[in-house]
Amino acid sequence: MRRSQGGGLRGLDRVNLKRVHTSCPRSTIDVAAKDDLNWSDLDRRAVDTVRVLAMDAVEKAGNGHPGTAMSLAPAAYLLFNKVMRHDPTDPLWAARDRFVLSCGHSSLTLYIQLYLAGFGLEVDDLASLRQWDSLTPGHPEYGHTPGVEVTTGPLGQGIGNAVGMAMAARRERGLLDPDAADGASIFDHHVYAMCSDGDIEEGVSHESSAVAGVQKLGNLTVIYDDNEISIEDDTRIAKNEDVGARYAAYGWHVQTVDWRQGDPEKGDYNEDVEALWAAIQEAKAVTDKPSFIVLRTIIGWPAPNKQNTGKIHGSALGADEVKATKEILGFDPNRPFDVAPEVLEHTRQAAARGREQHAEWTKAFEAWAAGNEEGKKLFDRLSTRSLPEGWTSALPEFPADEKGLATRAASGKVLDALAPVLPELWGGSADLAESNNTTMKGEPSFIPAEYATKAFPGHEYGRTLHFGIREHGMGSILNGIAANGLTRPYGGTFLVFSDYMRGAVRLSALMKLPVTYVWTHDSIGLGEDGPTHQPIETLTALRAIVGLDVVRPADANETAWAWRGALEHTDRPTALALSRQNLPTIDRSKYASAEGVLKGGYILSEASTGEPKVILIGTGSEVSICLAAQERLEAEGTPTRVVSMPCQEWFFEQDTAYQQKVLPRGVKARVSVEAGIRMSWDRLIGDAGEAVSIEHYGASAPAKILFEQFGFTADNVVAKANAALAKVGEITGHTTGN
């Protein structure tokens, strides 16, 4: 069996011309190999060392994904040691190129490169793969391991994250250095991603990749590991599309680098690193399209018995196969985690190169800063996610108004007011801008000028984002924007369609990214569109996502304070659940200030005696119903407190004294009022509590009719309050109502 070992060139004649297939046009072209690649024997040995470390780490852990890490070893090493600009001694350097391992199951593909390049990982960390308290968890985790840019593992998400990072890089350039020549800004950087069959099969990859094509993201390169193997073995059992043609149709620049030429069963496998290098160089040269490189590999190569099978995708090779593979590669089978000192010395030169690049960049940055005082101030502020002094004075205040305003409309007015003072704040909608009120007045769209429309004029440095009808892609892109570091993104759709983007929302919570979700049409109050569009279980389902703040404001002023709370939290995402219908703007001269929103729940209207017998807890459009019910109960002689609870998460963060002040332990008669299921309210209302809720799907009718038919009325709240009072013995001897 003929094999080219050690990165594919040992024992082979070096050639001056490499074959690369491209989609511009989609034909075979000749690309001269770059002489400055300088692919040495130490580089080849380093690549083989990657394979050995991947096998050993999974073998020691007893589980994991060795196959892709073995076959992608040359590609990952090429990126980290020859292509990307980064400083391993400062993983957060602003000018670094970003790397996203979308196929996060192959975490060793990234971890081993972080070790070899000197990002802070050592062999012991690789040997602790998937173990408690290690720096090498089963999937890469943002904020946990230096050099990991995003948390990946749920397939397809990383592609969307990479698209978001590339978009953010362009927006950041526009904020800080818009007049620099193409490719000449100190804030320019490239985004590289690796993906697998699983990534491109997940629908979220389609959504985000289509956006990238429209955006013409020339700073994005994705390498697709086309090995035709998944857990269920041969991918042809479920997949037969031409992935390269698909990406060409999106508007990407597509190339194919085929290491499987000939018959792989006969050993016809040539890891032609120079061909991949040439393809990457061409990708970088194409600045008006994102680039997609189809890299045809054999998973698990060169394992003699398990390569090219599903068995090597997600399980250890076994001692015999590890031994045989090490012998093929020229390593001692009896020495696990064997790294030659000269190999490590060679690969750790990446840190020295990075420091040199960093120093050169710092000189250029200082020269830029000297001539851009305001730009330097903005950069410093954005780098720390700080808000400008006095920014809250821009937040609008809304006068009392019985007719009121929909909270979605109030949110739009808040965005208009914040636009001049928070240039880092940008976003848009999944084709629902008019309904979500997510377009800042007068702000251009973020779009290549040739794609701007009469309704949405814009340019490449614009501010208003358009995701099309792609909620899940929008979520993954927003995460990438936030992870890139300098800006604050928001994205909108209807609340019920947050289900389409739940995977991305969960990841933003897991990564603690300050993304703001603007989800409107928050209840049966949206009316005639009916049960398909009316969220019933959605608020409770979102509250179940650990680390996501769900805020449902009661009126326009609560909406302004909700935006303030969202922006002041830099370590978590926030979901704003906003109404379609108008809500009365509460008279704050009569009732408490909306500032209480920042504490999650607050006493909006105190009982006449100051000592309530019953507490009504409402959110959103139901708070005004609670106020009406309070008047009835007080008239009947029942001291009643109304608590507005826009955000349970913020409320539970308050100290016990404050929580007890708002909801005294001794007042057990409580009623929650929310146009959704009861499930997330039991902790607040307790065993004696009652809930005005909806435990079934909605219907198509005007909102007023639906609220009456489904019991969201002052009459029903009063009845529930009396029922709770009866439970605790405050009412005896007469009917309490239904």
Instruction: Enumerate the active-site residues.
Output: 471
CB-CB contact of 548 with 577 (8 Å): no
Residue type, 341: P
Counting every residue, how long is the chain?
Answer: 738
DSSP-assigned beta bridge partners for residue 493: 519
Question: Phi-psi category of 192—alpha, beta or left, where left has phi over 0 and alpha has psi -120 to 50?
Answer: beta
Between the alpha carbon of residue 307 and those of residues 84, 294, 329, 333, 486, the distances in Å are: 29, 19, 14, 18, 43
CA 354, 358, 362 angle in degrees (round to 5)?
A: 175
Dist. CA 277–CA 557, nearest whole Å:
56
CB-CB contact of 221 with 193 (8 Å): yes
CB-CB contact of 683 with 663 (8 Å): no
Instruction: Write the DSSP assignment of 603-665 as a string of letters.
Output: EEE--TTSS-SEEEEE-GGGHHHHHHHHHHHHHTT--EEEEE-S-HHHHHHS-HHHHHHHS-T
As given in the structure block, the two tokens for residue 603 are 């006493």
Stated as kind and residue range, the H or E segment containing 460 is none
Residue type, 516: T
Dist. CA 689–CA 668, nearest whole Å:
7
Q: What are phi and psi of 94, to 5 degrees?
A: -60, -30
Residue type, 668: K
Q: Which residues of 624-652 are buried (b: 16+ CB within 10 A; e: fewer)?
A: bbbbebbeebeeeebbbbbbbbbbbbbbe
Between the alpha carbon of residue 308 and those of residues 226, 304, 435, 572, the distances in Å are: 11, 10, 50, 41
Q: Are strands 602-605 and 614-618 parallel, antiparallel or unpaired?
A: unpaired
Dist. CA 210–CA 189, nearest whole Å:
21
CB-CB contact of 261 with 268 (8 Å): yes
Which one-letter DSSP state was computed for residue 298?
-
- Helix, strand and coil content of the chain, in percent to the nearest 5, comes to 45, 15, 40
Neighbours of 708 (CB within 10 A): 14
- Alpha-helix runs per DSSP H in 272-422: 273-285, 319-329, 341-347, 349-371, 373-383, 407-418
Dist. CA 590–CA 556, nearest whole Å:
16
Dist. CA 274–CA 715, nearest whole Å:
77
As given in the structure block, the two tokens for residue 585 are 């703007």
Half-sphere exposure of 738 (CA within 13 A, CB side): 2
Q: In what order do the strands lie in the sheet with 253-258?
A: 26-32, 17-23, 253-258, 291-296, 220-226, 191-195, 98-101
CA quadruple 521, 525, 529, 532: dihedral positive or negative? Answer: positive
CA 492, 496, 502 angle in degrees (round to 5)?
A: 75
CA 311, 317, 323 angle in degrees (round to 5)?
A: 145
